[in-house]
Structure formats: C-alpha cells, structure tokens
A and B are shown apart, each in its own frame.
Chain A
C-alpha cells in the first residue's frame, strides 16, 4: 500500500517490503552515528525519568492550600472541545458560566524540598457547580477533615474541630499565595484562559498513549520557558503565568475535560518572569503580590490589604480572619496539620515557587444537594483585623 507521505524519502519508489527494509538499512547506515543514537536514547531516558517523577506513589494523605489550585483549573475543566485547540481556550470562558455539578480528585505534587526530600502529594476532593459555587474537602492525617467552600458571594471554612467561619468580604484575592512548600498562582478564570490563549502553544496531541489510551482527546498547552523568550515578551500575562505545560484529556463525546494536569518549571529553572530562582525584588509586574524571600508575606504595593501584621496566619480560633470573599483561603493547612493557635511557624527560608504539578481528575458525575455549597449552620461571620 502506498504511503501518503510528503516527507518520504525520494528513494522510496518501490513498495515491496524487502525494498523498504533495505532502504531503511541504508538510511540508517548513512545518517545515524553513535552520537545521534546516544542522543535518542538519552531523550528516552530523560522522558522516563520525568514520567517516574510524576508517577509518585501516594502513601499518605497530607493537605494544604488546595483551594487555590482548584480555583485555577475550574474553568479549564469545563471547557469544550473544538476543531481548533486554540478555539477551545477561547470558548472556555463562555462555557464556564454553565452550571453543572462536577466532582474532581485533586493531586498536588509539591517540589522537592531544599534538603532533597520530596514532600508527599496532597489530595483533595473538589466539588464544583460553577465558578461561584465550590466546595473542597481536605482530610488531615488522623482522619480530621477541613472543608472550604464558596456559595455565591460567601466564602466559608469548616475547621477540623467542627467550628466554622464565614469570610469577610473586602480582602483582595492575591495573585501569588505562599504555602508551606511553595507558592501558587492565583488568577481569575477569564485571565487564566486569556493567558493560555495568548501565550501558550495549544495543540492536540497525536500520541498512541494519549491520555492513557482511554480514547480521550489530549490537548497540550506549552509555554516557551527560555529566559530570553520570557524576558523579551511584551505580554505581561506571559510573564506571570508559571505553568510551563498543561495537559488536558477531553472526552470527545461529552466535551468534558476529564483530566487536567499543570506542570511548573523547577525552582532553579527559568521563571516565567524571566528570572531564576525565587523572586527577591519585591512585587511582580502589574502590582500583583509575590512571595517575599523571607517566606513571610509583606505589604503589597497596590494598596491591597495583606495579612495581619501580628504574624497570624490562617483563621485563628478567635476568628480574626476567615476565607476570602472570592474563593477559599490561599494559605491552607500545613502538611503536618494546622498550627496551634494559628500562629506562624519559624521561617522556612523563603518561598519555593509553585509546586511540581497539580492534577484534576473528574470522578463519576453526581448532583449535589441544593445547599451543598452553603456555609455550615454554625458558621460565624468574622471581620479582618484593622
């Protein structure tokens, strides 16, 4: 059978198997060298290693700061497929407004710590109705559970001890949020999609193993992470989005994103803002807040209110601060459980940047009760410190 092939060697005019095999032998003999074959193998081995890192086995359940990552991906999880991969992103914002109950399992893989240890992955269950109705359930070791949610305009948090608070309404949503093992990007749904559309190369993946051979359509959004490209980019949005690659598996029948995984560059690699390593020069472009080098959040330059100056972090028992009005709180529970009294622990030596990866996987479709996203009945409203 004749190959329909624009890149086919000119020498291949005979379609007999023996002729093709000899042609392949000759091509191999005259084009491949020991070095080129080594390079091929090394590419494979690097890919294998990369895959191994992603396939970290999950042994323990430890939790923190998942709502931020969850919020980031909600819009992408409900976007449809279209013939153009870029059009998928453009239409996502429109589709995101549709109200459909969905549930996702979230896995956040922190980056390797400076002492070389790989923190365990962080798991959560994310329930979504739309961008204003979310509920994320976080389970601490020992069976304790924390729930954070947003019901329209109200954000709330139910702590492991059963107490619950409703957020104040005037705190801004920071773009970068410090977490115990790194910083997460936070952005609005529309901005995230706009960044993708404008700045990423979005392609459908032709891959025999695409999405684990599940028959799902795989879409990949890749960002050029080289420092010159970033430094020269006139697009401010390009500089602030840290994910270097986003993989999506989409059910072609339902147009539902079944799996979404975001991969972030390593700590010592080029940063999206064109710099290397943790940012030490203060706020980011556009006035958004970046984690300062000492690991503590300082006052932002844009006049937005930062964390309380007394070093408290998270909603303390006295109810000084609650969840954000525009989503769950960014600084969630520590991997080793919440701090007693909500006090800040010793400095960790600076932020580590975003995690290695965050994945969202759709579970069986279910409808949630109408009050599923409401704050618990015992929730009390709190005001931020003045």
Chain B
C-alpha cells in the first residue's frame, strides 16, 4: 500500500466565494429591492451597488448568520441612500421591517430554495379565479398599461386597479397558507 496524499485542494478565493453567494442570493435580493424601491429604473442601480458594497465588506460578514439577511440589510441602506439623494421616499422603517419579515419567510437562503418557492407562487397563480388570473397575465406578463386593460375589459381603470390588488391579496393568502409568506 502506498501513501498517497489526497490532491491538494485549493482554498476558494474571496472572489469565488462571493460569486457563489451572489448567484445564490441575487433573485431574492432583487425581489426584496423591488418591494422596497418599486422604481424600476432605480432597482437596477440599487442592486448593483448593494452587491458591490457586499463585496467590499465581505470580510465583515458573520458566517454564522444568514447571508441573505445580511445582503438585504445592505440593500435597505443603499436603497434609502439612493432615495434620499433623489429626494424620494421609498419605505419607512415599519414598512422595511415588514417587507423584511416577508423576505425571511420566503428566504431559503440558496437559489434552489428560491426557485422552489417561486414554484409555489405558480401553484397559487393557477388557483386564482379566471378573472384574477387573467389580470395577472395582462399586468405582469404582457405589461399592458392599466388604461389598455380597462378598455379591453370594458372596465374603469379604478376597477382594474382593484382587481389586480385583489389578485395579489389572494396570492398572498395562498402563499401564507403554504408557509412561504409571513
């Protein structure tokens, strides 16, 4: 029997570790930031900057804690800073806290878990009554303006708004029942 050493395994570099973490948490971070910021043009910038701050401060991350939560904490501060510079108000502390609670419930802390939870969302969409399911498709998939939807469905814009709100409320209830929303 020969004494064969196991091949030396190189320690992953900080860059490699960060890439894995960033890929695992990018979707969830983006959802969180969209909930906080809602300005589509600003979300992209806030996302990029959040990741850059996370990279610069990676050494500060406590590995015993959730990376996703840490990332969202940075994202909150970056979003507030961006909004402040643009004299916008995106969310007050209470709002931020509640969005974070929903994020924690949704957080699987890795990409596969996120996709599983998005599968749960698919299930919930399928269970929506036709009117609401149709509304989700028109608003989110087709990205039709509310006015266009209202004309097509012979509704007022206000009625369209209420219907899409109701659809989201039903989806929220469904996700809560399935344990992926606070």
* Interface residue ranges, A against B (CB under 8 Å): 1-15, 17-32, 37, 40-41, 43-45, 47-49, 51-52, 206-209
Contacts and interface: CB of A to CB of B under 8 A. Distances in A.
Contacts of A40: 26, 30, 44, 47-48
Nearest to A43: B48
B53 A17 contact: no
14 contacts: A15-B95, A19-B168, A19-B172, A20-B35, A20-B99, A21-B99, A23-B34, A23-B168, A25-B106, A25-B118, A26-B140, A28-B27, A28-B118, A52-B15
Size range of the chain B interface in the assembly: 35 or more
Interface of B is mostly: helix
A25 B31 contact: yes
A216 to B, nearest CB: 13
B109 interface: no
Given A2-B89, A9-B38, A17-B102, A27 B82 contact: no
A207 B44 CA distance: 13
Contact of B52 (A19, A37, A48): A48
B25 to A, nearest CB: 10
Contacts of B139: 10-11, 26
B142 to A, nearest CB: 9
Interface of B: 15, 18-19, 22-23, 26-27, 30-36, 38-42, 44-45, 47-49, 51-53, 55-56, 77-78, 81-82, 85-92, 95, 98-99, 101-103, 106, 118, 121-122, 136, 139-141, 143, 145-146, 161, 164-165, 168-169, 171-172, 175, 181-182
Nearest to B57: A209
A15 B38 CA distance: 11
Contacts of A24: 31-35, 38
Nearest to B137: A30
Contacts of B161: 11, 13
A32 B33 CA distance: 14
A18 B169 CA distance: 8
B56 A209 contact: yes
